[in-house]
Amino acid sequence: MERSDLAKKLLEWWGKNKRVFPWRETNDPYRVIVSEILLHRTKANQVVPVYNEFIKKFPTIGALAEASFVEVKETVYSLGLLWRTKALYKMAQDVVARFKNEIPIQREKLESLPGISHYIASAVRCFAFGYAEVLLDTNTVRIIGRIFGIRSSDSSRRCRTFRKLYEFILDKDNARNFNYAMLDLGALVCLPREPFCNICPIIYICIFGSHRLDKLKCEKYLSQSL
């Protein structure tokens, strides 16, 4: 399977199996940045009601900047991690003060904001502004590692090799959907334990998946032969 075939198969699968979340229905950088901060190390389904309430209370970056710290804390407390409240609150005030209520598009300016990591900056640039950004998180490094037969770990998110491999397979003309598809593949199919390799749309380009299926077939054959 060629690189273009991988993207085609992945996006075809995603078209039928995509997860639907409110932050995926917008390219508003404010809403994207809020969702990414809320999603950090938190399951998406848990974030949905908090995100909806947050946007209802603070519909713009200006409204968030004018809110009290207590208001913000009360809105997101159910997700835990106090740093979220501090990041959202300080980020909004910083954007208003330094960038005239406009979330910047440049990476260095995004990463200069409180709570905005390299990953969140990449997500905002991709999902809000349409840049072909590499998104390396726990799910996507696992997929990359399995495709190319490389052992992955949490630190792989910062590994140049994994970044280069992701850049190699990334559909740069459709990066937004490609990245969403990778995230959904990791959440629905390419699980940390007992992945569903038999229904993976890119199984034939995946070293790990192909070997795993061959092993399962062999074990099944041996058990039937005994």
Domain of 152, in residue numbers: 3-19+134-225
**112: domain CATH number?**
1.10.340.30
Task: Please tell me whether residue 216 adopts helix, strand or coil conformation.
Answer: helix
The full length of the chain comes to 226
Locate all alpha helices (DSSP H) within the chain, ordered by sequence.
3-17, 29-39, 44-57, 61-66, 69-76, 82-99, 107-111, 118-127, 138-148, 160-169, 175-188, 207-225
16-50 exposure pattern, b = at least 16 Cβ within 10 A, e = fewer: eebeeeebbeeebbbbbbbbbbbbbeeebeebbeb
- Same domain as 102, residue 193: no
pLDDT in tens, the chain (226 residues): 567 789 999 999 999 999 999 999 999 999 999 999 999 889 999 999 999 999 999 999 999 999 999 999 999 999 987 888 999 999 999 999 999 999 999 999 999 999 999 999 999 999 999 999 999 999 999 999 999 999 988 888 889 999 999 999 999 999 999 999 999 999 999 999 999 999 999 998 899 988 887 665 555 544 555 4
Same domain, 147 and 68: no
Q: How many domains does the chain have?
A: 2
The DSSP secondary-structure symbol of 155 reads: G
- Residues 83, 162: one domain? no
